[in-house]
């Protein structure tokens, strides 16, 4: 399939996802729409971020992850979220496993899958289960489109949702990258904002191989119809002597 056909398919999928009905936040640091890539086996990283909303909601997140190879490369992570919503505080933990099936490349689709769940750290009650298929189409060494589709089970209300997202990453200098994404979940809800579109855009600054920082504006990112500002950081522990991640994937 030629470049024109690939580009046409990319645009068609992006359009369908953007106008479909809306997700639970997933991955890629504080961003919700994940890429199909995973890190190298043996590497680890710690992503963390703080988000504050115009309605006084707040969340602080730590997400350590490592890539292991028990039978194929798998990225394992454990997200811990301390959050305030409507004045109430709670702590949630969300383990996740992700693996890549088709590597990404310029002019073709890459494909991966991840799944996991979340539970209340205080009571041990299971809160959600989820599974997502991230697909990435690399337009060039510095531009890519990420498309996500999946399933979410909200056990607190015993409802199932279709989840979706589309994002665009552009590495416009050696140290700066811009991301824009729309995502959400489709299904029945008494609260309209739960199934309304969610949006984020932000910039990543990565001055070296180890550290990066994100500044992000979001709208309705947890389904509460508020504006959000997020400050995030990532600290990486690459495999010694390995090729830098941004040179393998073209992105920060």
Output the 3-class SS for the chain.
CCHHHHHHHHHHHHHHHHCCCCCCCCCCCCCCCCCCCCCCCCCEEEEEEEEEECCCCEEEEEEEEEEECCCCCEEEEEEEEEEEECCEEEEEEEEEEEEEEECCEECEEEEEEEEEEEEECCCCCEEEEEEEEEEEEECCCCEEEEEEEEEEEECCCCEEEEEEEEEEEEECCCCEEEEEEEEEEECCCCCHHHHCCEEEEEEEECCCCCEEEEEEEEECCCCCCCEEEEEEEEEEECCCCCCCHHHHHCCC
pLDDT in tens, 191-221: 899 999 999 999 999 999 999 999 999 999 9
The tens digit of pLDDT for each residue in 134-154 reads 999 999 999 999 999 999 999
Which pLDDT band holds residue 243 (cuts at 50, 70, 90)? Answer: low
For the stretch 83-105, pLDDT in tens is: 999 889 999 999 999 999 999 99
Write down the mean pLDDT value for the chain: 88
Q: Tens digit of pLDDT for each residue in 162-198?
A: 999 999 999 999 999 999 999 999 999 888 999 999 9
**Pairing outcome for strands 198-205 and 211-219:** antiparallel
Q: Is the pLDDT of residue 107 over 80?
A: yes
């Amino acid at each position: 399939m030629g470049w024109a056909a690939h580009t046409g398919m990319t645009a068609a999928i992006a359009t369908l996802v953007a106008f479909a009905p809306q997700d639970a936040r997933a991955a890629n640091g504080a961003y919700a729409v994940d890429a199909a890539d995973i890190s190298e086996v043996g590497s680890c990283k710690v992503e963390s971020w703080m988000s504050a909303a115009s309605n006084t909601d707040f969340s602080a997140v730590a997400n350590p992850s490592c890539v292991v190879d028990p039978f194929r490369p798998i990225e394992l992570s454990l997200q811990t979220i301390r959050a305030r919503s409507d004045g109430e505080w709670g702590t949630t933990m969300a383990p996740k496993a992700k693996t890549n099936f088709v590597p990404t490349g310029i002019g073709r689709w890459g494909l991966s899958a991840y799944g996991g769940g979340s539970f209340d750290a205080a009571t041990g009650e299971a809160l959600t289960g989820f599974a997502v298929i991230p697909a990435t189409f690399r337009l060039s060494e510095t531009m890519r489109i990420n498309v996500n589709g999946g399933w979410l089970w909200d056990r607190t209300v015993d409802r199932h949702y279709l989840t979706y997202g589309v994002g665009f990453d552009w590495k416009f200098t050696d140290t700066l990258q811009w991301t824009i994404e729309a995502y959400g979940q489709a299904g029945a809800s008494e609260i309209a904002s739960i199934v309304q579109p969610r949006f984020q855009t932000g910039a990543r600054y990565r001055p070296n191989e180890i550290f990066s920082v994100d500044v992000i504006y979001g709208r309705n990112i947890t389904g509460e119809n508020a504006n959000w500002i997020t400050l995030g950081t990532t600290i990486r522990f690459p495999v010694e002597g390995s090729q830098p991640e941004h040179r393998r994937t073209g992105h920060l």
